[in-house]
Amino acid sequence: MQFAKLFFSVLIAAVITGCAHPLVISPDISKIERDSSAPAIPKNVGYYILDDREKEVTTAGGGGDKVRYKPYKDIETGFYKMLSNVFKSVSVLKSDKDIEISKNEINYIISLDVSTNSSSPSMFTWPPTMFGVNLNCNIKNEAGKNITSLLAVGEGHAEFDEFKSDHSLAGKRASQDALMKMQRSLLNAPELTGGYSKIETPMNQANQQNNTQPAPTNTTSQQAPAPANTASDTPPSNTLPAQSISAADKLRDLKALYKDGVIDKKDFETKKQEILKSM
């Protein structure tokens, strides 16, 4: 008798809470494309996952039902592909103390944390129409010092008529969105790029040139004649004009970036010619 009561209690609870349908939220790897407008970061990177790869989570679906999936396992391949788009090489680590860090000369160590959510307003279909994937990356250098933390919030939506072909569509789109946002964040992080993006910004170049232009001189007839030059205000014969000094500084900075491996030889030569033409 007690067994029968227990059985019916479990059955009623399952009906009330709804069942958890299995999903796979792996993104389309072919769509995790490299950003051709931004140079890759010439550093070696290693990553490790903060939780169990096989960890299964359950979130809301439609009609009072729930869905279950393995976020780390589903996203990891796309995460590896994304990092390969950004960095020189990628290694999989067990922890931030992994021997592979020194063995593979890893410059940056990334820990990956994933959180998800889902929902649907439908009372008749269980696949979630809205999905969220949050990627949190904490980045250290090889000495274990924190460099930066980046968060990418991915969103995925799917209409009811799309579920005929793929019940996991909203989740897959959210994973792809989060990975592409994280890729942009990594490429734009000054702590990782060494400020290279600032040199490549046309607006910054224009501001630097404008700042080096000499102030206009008042030449009206009422201006008093200029006093004779003295030793203090006569520039040495080997002193360059202000604009030339600025160009020389730019060339020195550019050479340092090339020496540190932030830019390649092609970018160095192209930028050098632009600076020389501006002199």
Q: Which amino acid is at 245?
A: I
Task: Check: CB of residue 130 under 8 Å from CB of residue 120.
Answer: yes
How confident is the prediction along the chain (279 residues), in pLDDT tens digits per residue? 454 444 444 334 444 445 799 999 999 999 999 999 989 999 999 999 999 999 999 999 998 999 999 999 999 999 999 999 999 999 999 999 999 999 999 999 999 999 999 999 988 889 999 999 999 999 999 999 999 999 999 999 999 888 888 999 999 999 999 999 999 999 999 999 876 544 343 444 444 444 444 444 443 334 444 444 443 444 443 434 444 456 776 777 667 666 655 567 777 787 777 777 676
Task: Check: CB of residue 51 under 8 Å from CB of residue 2.
Answer: no
- Give the pairing of strands 20-22 and 66-69: parallel
Specify the pTM: 0.65
3-class secondary-structure state, position 106 = coil
Say which CATH superfamily domain 14-192 falls into.
Lipoprotein like domain (3.30.160.150)
Q: Where are the domains of the chain?
A: 14-192, 241-279
Q: Minimal CA–CA distance to 112: which of 145, 143, 142, 74?
A: 74
